[in-house]
Each structure stands twice: as structure tokens, then as C-alpha cells.
Amino acid sequence: MSEWALFAGKETSMSVQVEQKSYEMPPREGFTVTHFITVANIERSARYYEKVFGSRILSLGDNKGASGHIQIANIWLIVNVGGGPTPDKPPCNCRRHTSNMRRR
């Protein structure tokens, strides 16, 4: 099963037009870039990318911890609030950067 099928639950195609170019997800040719961003607030971040970059909000996540998904041309932004360790990665924490964090 493709990653697209895992995300959407079925094989479908979405398209968005940016200026004179039209983009489909998944693309018929070329490639797609996916970038994960840890944020404090999924909806606020999604609205920012929508307003500033003209992105298309595909989902805003849910209260059970699902991530938000945003499309900007052929780029997927996955936005999530992060979280603590998981059974497969017990020493790892995913959290957003704050101004009081120091480099070590």
C-alpha cells in the first residue's frame, strides 16, 4: 500500500493551483517533499501557512493527537504538537523549540 493510501485511507488524487501551475497529490510525475514541523498549536500554524503562503489545509488533526496536513504546491507540511517517548523509541522526545532552550 502506498504512503498516500495509508494517509487518506484510499487511493485518491487532490489538486491545487498556485499561480499558473497546478499540482496534484500524489504527483503523476516528479516528486513530493514532505516536511515535519513541531508546533505549539496546529490550527494556528495551519492558518498562518494558509494566509502567508496560500497553502491548502488538508486536515487540522484532532484532539486524540492526529497531526495536521498542509499542502503548498508539491510540498506536504505535517504539523504536530510533538509528544513523549514511544515504545519503539523510549529515549526520544519530540517538542517544539522555545526561546529559552540552549544549545549544548
Per the domain annotation, does 86 fall within a domain?
Answer: no
Q: What is the pLDDT of residues 64-99, one digit of tens each?
A: 888 899 998 888 899 998 888 888 888 888 777 776
Per the structure, the complete domain to which residue 69 belongs is given by 3-80
Q: What is the CATH number of the domain that holds 74?
A: 3.30.720
Per the domain annotation, does 18 fall within a domain?
Answer: yes
Q: Full-prediction pTM beyond 0.75? A: no
Per the domain annotation, does 92 fall within a domain?
Answer: no
Per the domain annotation, does 35 fall within a domain?
Answer: yes
**Residue recorded with cell 501551475:** 21
Q: How many domains does the chain have?
A: 1
Per the domain annotation, does 48 fall within a domain?
Answer: yes
pLDDT above 70: residue 22 = no
Per the domain annotation, does 101 fall within a domain?
Answer: no
Per the domain annotation, does 104 fall within a domain?
Answer: no
Rounded to whole angstroms, how far apart are CA atoms 58 and 4? 13
At position 49, the amino acid (one-letter code) is Y
SS3 sequence of the chain: CCHHHHHHCCCCCEEEEECCEEEEECCCCCCCEEEEEECCCHHHHHHHHHHHHCCEEEECCCCCCCCEEEEECCEEEEEECCECCECCECCCCECCCCCCCCCC
